[in-house]
Structure 1
C-alpha cells in the first residue's frame, strides 16, 4: 500500500538542504584531512599526496555546489530561463568520473528554469539506475527529455516510480535520499510532464514527455 506524500514547505526545504550537505560533506572533509596532513607531516611525498587530495576534493566540492545551485536553487527570479549549455557544464562536472560517462545531446537553448531543473534532477535519477557506473545518454525530445542508462547491474530501484509519483509506502519515510526523486516528481508535475521507465537487459530508459 502507498500513501500520498504530504510535506510542508519547511520540511521540503530542510530535506533538500540535507541532500546538498550530504553531497558536499565528503569532499570538504577530505580537504580538512589534507590540511591536517600538511600541518603534521614532514615527508615530502606525503605533503604532495595531501596537496593532490586537497586540489581534487576542492574541484569536487565546487562541481557539486554548482550543480546544486541549478538543480535545487532559485537560479534567478520567477520566470527566469537557464541556458542548457550551462546545465551541461554543471552536469559534466557532477556526473562524469572514472566510472560514469555522459553523452549530452540536448540542443543548446534558453529554457524555463523549472524545465532545466527537471532535466538535472532526472540525471540524478538516471544515475541511481547504474549503481556501479556506466553510461548516461540524454537527449531533448520536443517538450520533454529521454535518458538512457547502461551499465553493469543496471536496474530500476523499486521506490523510484512511487516517489516520482508523489507517493511513499505506508511504513516508508522521506529522508535526504528519498527527497530528490520526490522533488523531481514535483518539478515534472509543475511543467506538465509525465515520467515513464522501461528496461531491456542492462539498459534503462527514462522518458519525460508532455502529459
Structure 2
C-alpha cells in the first residue's frame, strides 16, 4: 500500500488549464455526435437515416447532460446545493458510467455529504470504474466513524492504474505521459488533502483499491 505524500502544488493557472482541457476532451465526443446527427437530419439525401440520426442525437444529449451534472460536483461547485445525498451522488456516477464494460456496485451510506466529501466520492468512484478497461465490478462504499472513509475497489481482468494516474494520486507532478490521464487522479488527491484528509492506493493483480479518509 502506498500512502500519498505532500508535494508542491502546480501553478493555479496551469491547474485550471489542465482541468479545462480534461472537460473539453470529455465534452467533444458527445457534442460532435450531436452535430453529426443534426447534419444528417438536414441532409435531403439521408432522410432514410432520420431514425438513426435522432437516436444518435438523443443518446449523445443524455451523455452530455450526465457529463455536465457530474463535472459540476467533481470539478466545480454546485449552484443549488451545499450538501448531497449518497443516493444523488450514486445517480451522478451511474449516469456517467452507464453503458461501459464495468458494473457499478454502489454501497455508499445514506445521509448528507459536504461539497468536499461529494467531490472526493464521485471522483474516486469514476476512477475506480476507469481502472476496469476490460470490465469487472467496481464497488464504491463509505463508512462514518471518527472520520469518513470512502473506498473504491475495482476487481476484474486487467484491473490497473496507468502510471500517470498513480503519480497523480500520490500528489506528484506529471512527468512523462498524458496530462488528461493525470489531472483527475491529482484532483482527487488535492481534494482529500485540502480537506485535511488522505488518499491511499493499493494495486494487486486483478484488483485496484482506492481509499480516502476525510473529516466528518
Tell me whether the two structures share a fold, i.e. TM-score over 0.5: yes
CA distance in 2, matches of 1:160, 1:98: 20
Q: Do residues 196 (structure 1) and 200 (structure 2) align? A: yes
Aligned residue for 1:117?
119
Q: Of residues 193, 205, 211 in structure 1, which corresponds to 2:209?
A: 205
* 2:117–2:214 contact (8 Å) kept in structure 1: no
Q: Do residues 132 (structure 1) and 137 (structure 2) align? A: no
After superposition, the Cα gap between the structure-2 partners of 1:115 and 1:98, relative to the gap in structure 1 and judged at 3 Å, is closer
Q: Do residues 54 (structure 1) and 69 (structure 2) align? A: no
Show structure 2 runs of 5+ residues with no match: 1-5
With normalisation by structure 2, the TM-score equals: 0.85
* 1:117–1:187 contact (8 Å) kept in structure 2: yes
Aligned residue for 1:15?
18
Question: Matched residue pairs, number?
Answer: 207
CA distance in 1, matches of 2:106, 2:49: 38
With normalisation by structure 1, the TM-score equals: 0.87
CA distance in 1, matches of 2:43, 2:134: 36
Task: Out of 144-153 and 110-119, give the one that drifted further.
Answer: 144-153
* 2:171–2:186 contact (8 Å) kept in structure 1: yes
Superposed, 1:1-211 pairs within 5 Å as 4=7, 6-76=9-79, 80-142=82-144, 143-168=148-173, 171-172=175-176, 175-210=179-214
Deviations 1:18-67 (A, max 9, x none): 11111111011001001111111445541111111111111111111111
Q: Secondary structure at the match of 2:162?
A: coil
CA distance in 2, matches of 1:6, 1:193: 16
CA distance in 1, matches of 2:83, 2:194: 15
CA distance in 2, matches of 1:41, 1:103: 46
Task: Out of 100-109 and 34-43, give the one that drifted further.
Answer: 34-43
* 1:146–1:205 contact (8 Å) kept in structure 2: yes
* 1:87–1:116 contact (8 Å) kept in structure 2: yes
Backbone CA RMSD of aligned residues: 2.4
Show structure 1 runs of 5+ residues with no match: none
CA distance in 1, matches of 2:100, 2:171: 33
Q: Secondary structure at the match of 1:177?
A: helix
* 1:41–1:47 contact (8 Å) kept in structure 2: no
Q: Secondary structure at the match of 1:135?
A: strand
